[in-house]
Structure 1
């Protein structure tokens, strides 16, 4: 487990220049003294341009002793230490005011090219999404990276579970602060952590992983991993870069399946609701989806939104007649049609292969039937027998 934390840090694109000692800017490490930030500091302690920064909010009697503790720990690890004191506004939420004051300090510290790194992990991400849902916010969670003033804020441990953080700290004999306010159930986030999340996990095993790994923005989606690069370290780094807690068994299976015959497309379940597929010489991270239920009718020209994508239409020289009654089905195997403009009948499987449609998208790709005749595979082919001049062509856009 400690290796996973190191891999998560070293695989971060934002941190790579600091590990390679090519950065001329500063790596600021948010250091509260708690176990999460202590593990983060330990993992980054060898970076030459690292500075641990502790913010004293002045909210607890122990604040001055926490500054001394953090300073001593940073010195032990050979990391430059700084601390700042802030005044937290008395009105409104104390937690919100403290957060605002903290971010103001960080923005003042971070110069162009600098990076601030924080120790939030997968459990924090899951709790944040639940809190956002309960308070009517968009449940986007915390971004792995975002702009901060003139620099960047990075959270490289979003794929690491809290238990892994504790295991790392204990294995390395680290010392940390236990903030008594973390047990205060009057604070919403604490109540979610101590009461809601354990019940969710007990009722729905894997809930934390699924919440933490929920869909990210397009900029944060995971690029494919070339099979030729799929050694143990790279596989772990690739999965962790996507914010996923991953088992050693999954990593080992991806490595084993990397040696499968080139014409095979093996898949490996890497977390609840997430699979890795090998396709065209690379591994792809894919969200599992239930197989669609056949059924549903429409007329040509009518758009259709499904959980797996969107069906739209465009006017073409030769296409399906407007208002043609259609039914939507999905692959069962052996379906075929003769595409307009071609002299041979093609199976749907062959059309998918020709168009390089990834195998995980194929089960949910709609097939359009007029009565019992397959007349279109949207975006790929329209049956010659069904076309008319000045018709409509169906298009299919799979969801991410």
Structure 2
């Protein structure tokens, strides 16, 4: 097994700093022992991280065990305590999410996890039963990126019985988590009930399922390559071209739309994907179709499918907010390219006061940046008020000329409908002086010998 892991490290160089995700269980104990034995040959610094989930009465004892084992191998151990919040997830998923929050914050080149071939087979079955797509069926890769960290699985091709044999041959000590035999948990039910039955009916089932995962991964890679090819001229800052989607057959168009959502980190819902493609292509020209994807919606605007992230209500403003960077740019003139939606604020969170600071934080509505400029921008006193648009406002963009409704000005400027709903507006003594995406009211335009303020709106990220 040592030779097999050494070959893995040649294929997937771990860099100078390699960390092991160490639970204290059988698999991670064997992985830690193997990597400790190989660190001299591959010249990496080895460390371990143990995540204390606080779910078992034995959790503190496991920490003691892990410390003892790491000390014996001269491997520094970091223990991270987390709070597992279910928040609509099952316990397994919530614990995994908490672990990966820890993993993604590690300052290492690579993180090695101890999933093995039987885990891979179980994952393929679970994904099949969930109706997963090609990427889900590909299950766990040997290597993937976790932010800037390489996530490695050196034991992914090794069966569980070989890991057990190695542990016994080397006299290793590990902990047993009682929850691993709780068949109320789906993975345990697959491990203890379904997989033995499959092996009885189809000898070598685990091997076949693991091989299938590799084939699914290859197919998923080809679909990604096709989507990148189709999206090369179709995806822009404005969104995804509706015309390009219409040129493709349905399966290929869905693949491109899936790719667009994945680029923005939106979880894929298969039926929603079909619905979204249908609405974006088939809704009448003057319609504004909206498809909900949970954390975001898809909309159609000016010939593009646009991803609109849903934001929380702006937080209650403070009476006075401190400085910030003065390096703000003039108000942005580009129209309708926002990928963000601002939900209506609560009644007590509509007003902010500006006292001359360089940046005014508007919470979930973003921020306003103010830069002083001679003879340009908005003429403001020492204090102004910022409110979010509610409708019915008027502004006079040029003088001489009449005041016009912001509704019409925003429509003519091509500002996206969802962005028009709540824009930050700057008022002086109750009069509208400046509107995001439109600019200054003529009555408040700084004269040649006056100091004005260039205001730019930083939309929420």
Counterparts of 1:208-287 in structure 2 under 5 Å? 208-214=206-212, 215-218=215-218
Query: Do residues 10 (structure 1) and 1 (structure 2) align?
Result: no
Deviation at 1:13, TM superposition (A): 4.3
Name the residue aligned to 2:362.
Answer: none
Change in 2 beyond 3 A, CA 1:81/1:216: same
Counterparts of 1:200-211 in structure 2 under 5 Å? 200-211=198-209
Deviation at 1:110, TM superposition (A): 4.0
Query: Do residues 131 (structure 1) and 129 (structure 2) align?
Result: no
Change in 2 beyond 3 A, CA 1:15/1:57: farther
Whichever structure has more helix as a proportion of its residues is: 2
Can you give the 5+ residue segments of structure 1 that lack an aligned partner in the other structure? 222-400
Task: Give the RMSD, CA atoms, in angstroms.
Answer: 1.9
Deviation at 1:14, TM superposition (A): 6.3
Aligned counterpart in structure 2 of residue 105 of structure 1, from 102, 107, 121: 102
1:110–1:116 Cα contact (<8 Å) kept = no
What does the per-residue CA deviation read over 1:330-376, in whole Å, with 9 as the maximum and x for residues that have no partner?
Answer: xxxxxxxxxxxxxxxxxxxxxxxxxxxxxxxxxxxxxxxxxxxxxxx
Name the residue aligned to 1:277.
Answer: none
Name the residue aligned to 1:38.
Answer: 29
1:126–1:208 Cα contact (<8 Å) kept = yes
Q: Secondary structure at the residue paired with 1:109? A: coil
Q: What is the alpha-carbon distance in structure 2 between the residues aligned to residue 17 and residue 219 of structure 1?
A: 25
Change in 2 beyond 3 A, CA 1:106/1:184: same
Q: What is the alpha-carbon distance in structure 2 between the residues aligned to residue 219 and residue 203 of structure 1?
A: 28
Off by >6 Å, runs of 4+ in structure 1: none
Q: What is the alpha-carbon distance in structure 2 between the residues aligned to residue 218 and residue 197 of structure 1?
A: 25
Deviation at 1:7, TM superposition (A): 2.0
2:12–2:143 Cα contact (<8 Å) kept = no
Counterparts of 1:131-210 in structure 2 under 5 Å? 131-138=126-133, 139-210=137-208
Q: Secondary structure at the residue paired with 2:131? A: coil
What does the per-residue CA deviation read over 1:183-221, in whole Å, with 9 as the maximum and x for residues that have no partner?
Answer: 001000000000000000000001110101111534999
Q: Secondary structure at the residue paired with 1:120? A: coil
Name the residue aligned to 1:58.
Answer: 54
Can you give the 5+ residue segments of structure 2 that lack an aligned partner in the other structure? 222-461
Q: What is the alpha-carbon distance in structure 1 between the residues aligned to residue 216 and residue 72 of structure 2?
A: 37
1:30–1:52 Cα contact (<8 Å) kept = yes
Q: What is the alpha-carbon distance in structure 1 between the residues aligned to residue 47 and residue 220 of structure 2?
A: 27
What does the per-residue CA deviation read over 1:231-271, in whole Å, with 9 as the maximum and x for residues that have no partner?
Answer: xxxxxxxxxxxxxxxxxxxxxxxxxxxxxxxxxxxxxxxxx
2:121–2:206 Cα contact (<8 Å) kept = yes
Q: Secondary structure at the residue paired with 1:45? A: helix
Q: Secondary structure at the residue paired with 1:88? A: coil
1:14–1:154 Cα contact (<8 Å) kept = no
Deviation at 1:118, TM superposition (A): 0.6
1:110–1:150 Cα contact (<8 Å) kept = no
Q: What is the alpha-carbon distance in structure 1 between the residues aligned to residue 113 and residue 119 of structure 2?
A: 12
1:131–1:189 Cα contact (<8 Å) kept = yes
Q: Number of aligned pairs?
A: 210
Q: What is the alpha-carbon distance in structure 2 between the residues aligned to residue 118 and residue 16 of structure 1?
A: 13
Change in 2 beyond 3 A, CA 1:219/1:156: farther
Query: Do residues 121 (structure 1) and 116 (structure 2) align?
Result: yes
Change in 2 beyond 3 A, CA 1:15/1:98: farther
Deviation at 1:8, TM superposition (A): 2.3
Change in 2 beyond 3 A, CA 1:153/1:95: same
What does the per-residue CA deviation read over 1:305-331, in whole Å, with 9 as the maximum and x for residues that have no partner?
Answer: xxxxxxxxxxxxxxxxxxxxxxxxxxx
Q: Secondary structure at the residue paired with 2:8? A: coil
The TM-score normalised by the length of structure 1 is 0.50
Q: What is the alpha-carbon distance in structure 2 between the residues aligned to residue 197 and residue 170 of structure 1?
A: 24
Taking CA–CA contacts closer than 8 Å with sequence separation of 6 or more, which of the two structures ends up with the larger relative contact order? 1
Select the structure of larger CA radius of gyration.
2
Q: What is the alpha-carbon distance in structure 1 between the residues aligned to residue 187 and residue 46 of structure 2?
A: 30
Name the residue aligned to 2:415.
Answer: none
Deviation at 1:41, TM superposition (A): 0.3
Q: What is the alpha-carbon distance in structure 2 between the residues aligned to residue 216 and residue 68 of structure 1?
A: 41
Q: Secondary structure at the residue paired with 1:178? A: coil
